[in-house]
Structure 1
């Protein structure tokens, strides 16, 4: 039910420190689990959330973007999940988990009496069926966007698609209904955190078969997905799929009355697709929607004055200036790459172009994540040093093609063209000629940069998926990629070694070593981090802002 006005009620306090926010948020979530109504909210009703775009589909394994993941997270669950407001893992569909001493086997003790939305039982056989499905997928389904599976598990049984490395997955054993054992070919430091990735949500094996989940077809660069992905997603979560009205641009979820845990307080959640950010703001102000993600920082005060809750998330992202060493010979010289780092006034950019709490960065691992180290080689803003290095390298008068994404806003990059403009002026100030090459995010920028490597430099970034340094520097620099166009065995080996560590202290030390190597090599320039926000009407209670953008709506109430 759409509310007619945005009520001026209690606001969730904005807390600058991530730890304080995490503590407050966790306490709030626990209070609601204990039956409190979050300061006067009532159970029932409908939450209408403004979405920036349509989901690609609803099959978790085939997705890699926030607009798809947001409804998926309400319908599906993973073996482990992240504590509200933090990147720390806690029990999900698994009550506990234990690795073998060498990290090549993980034993999961599963929750009992859990059912999928189609009424079939969740058990160890279902867990193994999902892992086997992902590993054995082939054809167009393997060519589709199984990015997260490829990043974590390395390769498929047939080594198709982007995941063409040595497969990490060996097999899965259902010891009994409530015990699943995942066997790997080698240890991975990303676990157990990565088991909470939305892409690795557990689907009903019966629904996967019934609705031909793997029958993906391909035409050129486009993929067509089967009924399971488009109309019959079937998980274990607190909300169930009711329908996607493509003509109206609305996705409707309803409360799962058979949910194993505390049932959702809302009757329904509707995602209303509103591509224009200004239109989303106006619909919130009018009461047509109850919230939306990534409000423009320039609108924070106006939204608050209108009675909305602007909730700033803890920082867990980075924006970087990517460098492609393949196309321009000058960029193979580390002195030129260092010059780019010295040339960018990161602190000024953060102060003038990012929301409050934005900060310049000297490395790619977030400050709160093990692997961040003060020992990195720092290239603080120094345009004269940049000019000297360019001269020393014989690169005076350097010209660079700067690829800039358009038609997109990201937590780390709220206004790409404005941010790119500031960086361009810094580069021009040290004598570099910059040719701006704007490209639409989908169907242009990502293809040109991440697949074809057509650029010299580019603007991009990353929001962490879980609390592990490998999710940042391992994802960026762990292997040869068209985006960066370099090969450095020392960096690759250091990252591989760090990722193979089971002991947290050894893993931390390994990623610190890799961070130092990366800072000296400068495969890209770390620029800034930005605290993104989510906004809801003043009559909405119970949303816990997540550093992973992992907000769940089961605890939400509406006055």
Structure 2
């Protein structure tokens, strides 16, 4: 999610050395008491895992970010990369060797010390995953940033770019890749690549994820508190799934600035109206994804409702493997013409929302003004379906329940609008509502839905973090193979010169929108709300709020 802020995309020859910054985490709502407060935050959905390496969704990362830290972080409230567990870093001239100087005196929640060997143990652990861990629904971010594994078990798993990690000394780790990538250094800031205690990793290895597609069983350690251990200002102490609450406690041995509250509770309240009522009643201290219609009401009542910058994309995904009719370009174009994106923006999004023309917001360098556009036209949609011989097209349309997202404040309502649009064009739509985590996320990642609603909030400021996430190679979510699309995206990724890379991103966007693998619908600025007596954290365009900054007035 980006709005402004310096763009941290470096040339291969560049080296960076960034000073230390204490990263935070934590927030929740509860009662104030002498000697320590509890802050309770109303989350829009359940986390899927307490191990961020197994996740790809914002609700999981909102929780784990308070307990785990990556080598690099983003500045509070901004998009610049700054030191995290590494106080500085640099790349060699080829962009294939990254050296990290680690913070000293850092302890994990289980008492282990942060060392270069601990960092390497994390990266080698991910690289050597086997079985279900190689499913892209489980190891999504590893595969996005570093490709495949030491031994790929599926022909569609991307080739490994990770080469290895070496502990040069106690506090110097060197991570090597085979080829330079636009995913670096930004990828080192991902919560999915946050650093775990080496002792905890040994315990992780005793358990396995099992299953496939939308029937994955995650390892026990990731589904209950007690095993996972990071270095953050909070440690996870309880996950009460029955009451949909995760509790974190301040970590008093934290190496940076201590958290401003003693306890942090994330309480899942799926409906936005229920979250608003809980805030108004004083049952929570804050919540995310405020409905556009509620912003002025809350502000008039004295609540704090800061707005984040626009750095997301909402889209309708097509799975060509789930429905062979979607292999026809005329069908994909027809569905795109059938959807009234401006109506979605007008009726469902806050002020500042815009209809999308491509799979990234215009706040990211690489956005093109020359992409093919598909105006709303029911007649055009019908004409194209007839041309394709698909006048009786039937699609299964999946949408998530029990959640709202920054790019998708009301999934069911947005689905209904688009369902109506498609039906007017003659498409037979079969609804398939699914619980957000892990059911919906696993199903969409596995390409089990003909059509589905999903979106993306940027992890770091590079166009590859958007289009490269989906279109640099075969992805089960989309289920298509087109070398023209893949080559255009990969060519941009491999370009070391930033200015040239941006131009290649523009060309890649034009190729993608000519192919039209799905429908980019909109981008929007999500709001977050806090109680009157709270000193809130700096809001992040990346939705990466550090709740350790929270305190009570």
> With structure 1 as the length reference, what TM-score do the two structures score?
0.85
2:2·2:458 contact (CA, 8 Å) conserved in 1?
no
Q: What corresponds to 1:68 in structure 2?
A: 60
The 8 Å contact of residues 73 and 83 in structure 2, kept in 1 or not, is answered as yes
Native 8 Å contact 1:51 1:271 kept in 2:
yes
> 2:173 maps to which residue?
180
Report Cα offsets for 1:128-167 as digits up to 9, x if no partner: 1111111123345545722211221111213258982211
Contact 2:195 2:230 in 1 (8 A): yes
Within 2, Cα distance between the matches of 1:324 and 1:426? 19
**Hey, what's the Cα distance between the residues in 2 that align with 1:168 and 1:21?**
27
After superposing the two structures, state which structure 1 stretch, 390-399 or 94-103, moved more.
Answer: 390-399
Gaps of 5+ in 1: 1-15, 23-29, 34-40
Q: Which moved more, 1:415-424 or 1:321-330?
A: 321-330
Cα distance in 2 for residues equivalent to 1:428 and 1:53 = 30
Aligned residue number for residue 430 of structure 2: 436
User: 1:312-461 alignment to 2 at 5 Å?
Assistant: 312-326=307-321, 328=323, 330-396=325-391, 398-429=393-424, 431-442=425-436, 445-446=440-441, 448-455=443-450, 457-461=451-455
On the 8 A contact 1:102/1:502 being kept in 2, the answer is no
Partner of residue 10, structure 2:
none
Equivalent in 221, 224, 233 of residue 226 of structure 1: 221
Deviation at 1:258, TM superposition (A): 2.4
Deviation at 1:480, TM superposition (A): 2.3
CA distance in 2, matches of 1:387, 1:137: 47
Q: Which runs of 5+ in 2 are unaligned?
A: 8-20, 25-31
CA RMSD of aligned residues (A): 3.1
Aligned-residue offset at 1:77: 0.9
Cα-to-partner distance string for 1:452-481 (whole Å, 9 max, x where unaligned): 5452x3322222222221222122222223
Q: How far is 1:482 from its partner?
A: 3.5
In the TM superposition, what is the alpha-carbon distance from 1:331 to its structure 2 partner?
3.4
What does 1:75-224 align with in structure 2 at a 5 Å threshold? Answer: 75-143=67-135, 145-160=138-153, 164-209=157-202, 211-218=203-210, 221-224=216-219
- Quote the Cα distance in structure 1 between the aligned partners of 2:515 and 2:251: 51
Of 5, 18, 25, 2:3 maps to: 18
Verify the 8 A CA contact 1:213 1:227 in the aligned structure 2: no
Deviation at 1:81, TM superposition (A): 0.7
Report SS of the residue matched to 1:133: helix
Q: 2:523 aligns with which of 494, 506, 529?
A: 529
**1:65-113 C-alpha deviation (Å, 9 max, x unpaired):** 2332222111111111112223331111112222222221111122222
Which of 509, 519, 540 does residue 513 from structure 2 map onto? Answer: 519
**Kindly tell me: are residues 269 and 507 of structure 1, through their superposed partners in 2, closer, same or farther at Cα, counting changes over 3 Å?**
same
3-state SS of 2:127 partner: helix
Q: Distance in 2 between matches of 1:194 and 1:32?
A: 17
Residues in 1 aligned to 2:454 and 2:536: alpha-carbon distance in whole angstroms: 32
Aligned with 2:297 (options 290, 297, 302): 302
Evaluate the alpha carbon distance shift between residue 162 and residue 241 of structure 1 in structure 2; reply closer, same or farther with a 3 A threshold: farther
* 1-structure distance, mates of 2:504, 2:104: 38
Match of 2:280, SS state, is helix
- Between the aligned partners of 2:222 and 2:405, the Cα distance in structure 1 is 30
TM-score normalized by the length of structure 2 = 0.86
Shift of 1:229: 6.3
**Superposed displacement of residue 516, structure 1:** 0.8
Q: Cα 1:263–1:162, aligned 2, differ >3 Å: closer, same or farther?
A: farther
In structure 2, the CA distance between the partners of 1:516 and 1:242, relative to structure 1 (3 Å rule), is same
The reply to whether residue 469 of structure 1 matches residue 454 of structure 2 is: no
Give 1:49 deviation, angstroms: 1.4
- State the Cα distance separating 1:227 from its structure 2 match: 7.6
What is the CA distance between 1:445 and its match in structure 2? 4.4
Q: Distance in 2 between matches of 1:323 and 1:32?
A: 38
Give runs of ≥4 in structure 1 deviating > 6 Å.
30-33
CA distance in 2, matches of 1:496, 1:31: 35
